Chain A
Amino acid sequence: MLYNKNKIALVDCNSFYVSCERLFNPSIIQKPVIVLSSNDGCVISRSTEAKALGIKMGEPYFKIKKIVKENDVKTFSTNFALYGDLSRRVMKTLRQFSPQMEIYSIDEAFLDLSSIRNEDLLEHGYKIRKTILKWTGIPTSIGIATTKTLSKAANWIAKKEKSGVINLINSNHIDEFLSKIKINDVWGVGRQLTKFYIKNGINTAYDLKNKHNGWIKKNTSVFGSRTAMELKGISCVSLEPHQQKRKNCCVSRSFGRKVTKLEELNEAITTHCLNAAEKIRLDNQTVKKITVFIKTSPFQKDNYYYSNSKDIDLPIRTNDSIELVKQALIALKDIYKKNLRYQKTGIIFSGLKETDIYNKNLFSTINHEEKRIKLMQAIDHTNIKYGRNALSIAQAGLKKKWNAKRHFSSKVDTACFNFLPTVRVS
C-alpha cells in the first residue's frame, strides 16, 4: 500500500453525449437536451437545463414525453460513432498531461499527477480543463486527491462548482466536502451496501471515513473496506494504465420491433457474430465457446415469457466469421420457438485467447485454413477502408428491418467521410 504520495486526478466529461451533440449543433447550446438509449428507451445523458426540469437519469422516454413537449427539450438518439471519436480525441489530449493514465470509461480517465508540485496542482487542473475544452469542445470536471475514491469524490464536488476543478490534496476542507456527499454517491458503494450503511447510521462519505476500521472489516467485504480506507487517504486501488485484453465479447441488441421469424433472428445473430468477430480479430484473439441467447419481453401481457440460451464448445479455436456464424445459427435453431414475439437476441464469445493464428503455416502451401485467414483479413481491411458492413455475409441481411429504432439520431460522424459535419459559408 502506498501512503499519501499519490496525486490522482479524475477527469470526467460533463454530460458527455449531450456535449458531443452540441459541438456541431450550436442551436442546442444553453437549451434543455437529452440523449436516449437504444430504441429510444431511457434518458442516458442530460444537459444542466434538462436536469433543472426534473428529468432523471435512466427515466423512460414515454414518462417524460409531456415535459419534453412543453419545454421543447431537444431529444437525440445515441450516435456512438460520434461519441467514440470525440472520446478518443479527449483521451489523446489528456495523455500529454501525464505519462500514466487509466481510461476508465468513454468519458472518464484517471491521471497520475505525482510529478506536479502540490502548490501547482490546481493551476494544472485548470490548464487540463481549458485545453480539453479548446481542442475538443468538450467541457470537463476535474477532481484531484491522493486516492482514486477521493478523486471521484472531489470530481463529484467539482461538477457542482463553476471553476470545474477541486483539489483535495493538503486541503482543509476535505471533511466539509465529504459530508456533502451522500453515501450512495460514493464510488464503489452499491445499492445493497448503501442500505446496510444507512441502517448503521452512515449517511455520507464523511460518516464512512470516520467509521472504525475494525467495524468495517468485520461487517463488509474486501471491497467495502477498500472504499473506506481510500476515503481516509490510503491508496488501495492503483492506477491501471494498461487495458486488460477482454476475456469474452458480448454483442446483443433489442429489436426495433418484435421479431417472430427465424429468418430475421438468423440475420440478427449473423450481424452480431460478424461484429464481435471483427473486434476479436483486431486483438488477434480466438474463440473457444459461443453462447446464443434469445428472449421475449418480460412486460408483455397475454404472452408468456421465454428466455433461453445455448452454448457451443468449438472443437478448434477460431476467429473465422463464417465458421462462427455457422455454429451460432445451429445454436439459435435449437432454442428457437415458433409464434413468439422476440424482443432481444445476442451472442457471447468466451474463452478468448490471443493466438498466433496469423503466423501459423508460414512456409506451407496455401491450404484451406490459410485461405480463410486471408479472406478474413481482406474483409477487415475493406471494412476499415470503406466503412462498416461494406463487405458482409449475405445471411446478415441487407435491410435489417429488425434494427433498433434511432428516430432522433444526429447522423454526424467526425471519423467517417460520408457523414462529416457541415458549415455554411457566408
Chain B
Amino acid sequence: MKALLPFHINKVGAGFPSPATDYVEDDIDLNAHLIKNIPSTFLIRVQGKSMNSVGIHNDDLLVVDRSLNPKNFSTVIVNINEELVVKTFIKEKNQSFLTSESKEIKDKINLRANPEVLIWGVVTYVIHAL
C-alpha cells in the first residue's frame, strides 16, 4: 500500500542550477495524508449503489479507521445481521442511532436497544475513480 506521486527536480547540470532546489520536498505520500493511524486503518471496497447521493459509489474505496469513535453524522461500517454494511451515525439527546442514506430504507436503529449491532470502524475518506 504505497502511493507516491513523483515530484521531479532538475538534475544538477553544468548550467544555471535550478532555483527550486532550496524548496525540494519529498514525494507526496498519500498514505501519510489519508492514513493517520496505520495499524488500525483498512481499505475496504464498496458494493452497491444506494449511497450514490452522498458520494459513495459502487467499487469505491473506503479508508476506514477502527481506532476512532464516531461523531454525529459520521459514516461508519457496522456489523449488522451477520454482515458488514455502511451506515450513518447520528446522535440525538444522549442516544445514538444508525440510519441509511438509501432512499428505500427508512429504518433508524437505536444502538442502545440493539446491543448486537456493533460499530466496526469510522470511514475517513472515500476514494472514487472518475
Contact present for B49 and A93 (CB under 8 Å): no
CB of B54 to closest CB in A, whole Å: 9
The 8 closest A-B pairs by CB, nearest first: A135-B40, A27-B82, A92-B39, A89-B39, A425-B48, A425-B51, A26-B79, A423-B84
Known contacts A134-B66, A425-B56; A415/B1 CB under 8 A: yes
Q: A134, A137, A422, A423: which has the most chain B beta carbons within 10 Å?
A: A423
Q: Roughly how many angstroms separate A88 CA and B40 CA in the complex, as a whole number?
A: 11
A426 x B105 contact (CB < 8 A): yes
Chain B 40-97 residues near chain A, CB threshold 8 A: 40, 42-51, 56, 61-62, 66-67, 77, 79, 82-87
- Inter-chain CA distance A27–B83, complex, in Å, is 6
Whether the pair B44, A424 counts as a contact (CB closer than 8 A) is no
In the assembled complex, B31 has its CB within 8 A of some CB on chain A: no
Pair B47/A423 contact, Cβ less than 8 Å: yes
A136–B40 CA distance with the chains assembled, in angstroms: 6
Q: Is the CB of A425 within 8 A of B67?
A: no
Chain A residues contacting B61 (CB-CB under 8 Å) are 420
Contacting pair B86 A137 (CB below 8 A): no
Q: Which residue of A lies closest to B48 (CB)?
A: A425
A60 at the interface (CB under 8 A from B): no
- Can you list 15 A-B contacts with CB-CB less than 8 angstroms, sorted by A residue number? A26-B79, A27-B83, A29-B79, A89-B39, A136-B40, A137-B66, A414-B43, A421-B45, A422-B44, A422-B45, A422-B84, A423-B77, A424-B84, A425-B56, A425-B86
A135 touching B105, Cβ below 8 Å:
no
Residues on the B chain within 8 Å of A402, using CB: none
A187 within 8 A of B: no
* Contacts from A to B (Cβ < 8 Å): 24, 26-27, 29, 88-90, 92-93, 134-137, 385, 414-415, 417, 420-426
Contact across chains for A426 and B67 when beta carbons are under 8 A apart: no
Determine the distance from Cα of A60 to Cα of B83 in the docked complex, in whole angstroms. 31
B37 at the interface (CB under 8 A from A): yes
B100 at the interface (CB under 8 A from A): yes
**Is the beta-carbon distance between A423 and B62 smaller than 8 angstroms?**
yes
Contacts of A90 in B (CB 8 A): 39
The smallest beta-carbon distance between A131 and chain B, in angstroms, is 8
User: Could you tell me if A423 and B39 are in contact, using CB atoms closer than 8 angstroms?
Assistant: no
Q: Is the CB of B48 within 8 A of A420?
A: no
Bound-complex Cα distance A420 to B102 (A) = 24
Q: Is the CB of B100 within 8 A of A426?
A: yes
11 additional A-B residue pairs with CB within 8 Å, beyond A425-B86, A426-B50: A26-B79, A27-B83, A420-B43, A422-B47, A423-B45, A423-B77, A424-B84, A425-B50, A426-B48, A426-B85, A426-B105
Residues of chain B with a CB closer than 8 A to A425's CB: 46-51, 56, 85-86, 101-102
Contacts known (A89-B39, A415-B1); A426 close to B84, Cβ less than 8 A: no
Smallest Cβ-Cβ distance to A418: which chain B residue: B45
Specify which chain A residues have a CB less than 8 angstroms from the CB of B50 in the assembled complex: 425-426
| Chain A CB within 8 A of B38 CB | yes
Q: A92: which B residues are within 8 A, CB to CB?
A: 38-39
Q: Please, how many angstroms separate the alpha-carbon atoms of A281 and B10 in the complex?
A: 32
Quick one: given A135-B67, A425-B47, A425-B48, are A26 and B83 in contact (CB under 8 Å)? yes
Q: By the criterion CB–CB under 8 Å, are A24 and B40 in contact?
A: no
Q: Tell me the complex Cα distance, A415–B100, Å.
A: 29
Annotate B99-119 by CB proximity to A: 1 below 8 A, 0 otherwise.
Answer: 011100100000000000000
Question: In the bound complex, how far is the Cα of B44 from the Cα of A425, in angstroms?
Answer: 12
Query: How far is A27 from B82 in the complex, measured between Cα atoms in Å?
Result: 4
Partner of A93, one of B39, B42, B48, B56: B39
* Cα separation A26 to B86 with both chains bound (whole Å): 14
Most A Cβ at <10 Å: residue of B1, B87, B105: B1
The CA of A89 and the CA of B38, in the complex, are separated in Å by 8
Q: Which of A88, A134, A414 contacts B42 (CB 8 A)?
A: A414
Verify A424–B38 contact, CB threshold 8 A.
no
Collect the chain A residues with CB atoms within 8 Å of residue B51's CB: 425
A88 to B46, CA, bound (A): 25
A423 touches B67 (CB 8 A): no
Q: Write the nearest CB–CB distance from A24 to chain B, whole angstroms.
A: 7
CA distance A358 to B2 in the complex (A): 24
In the complex, what residues of B have CB within 8 A of residue A135's CB? 37, 39-40, 66-67
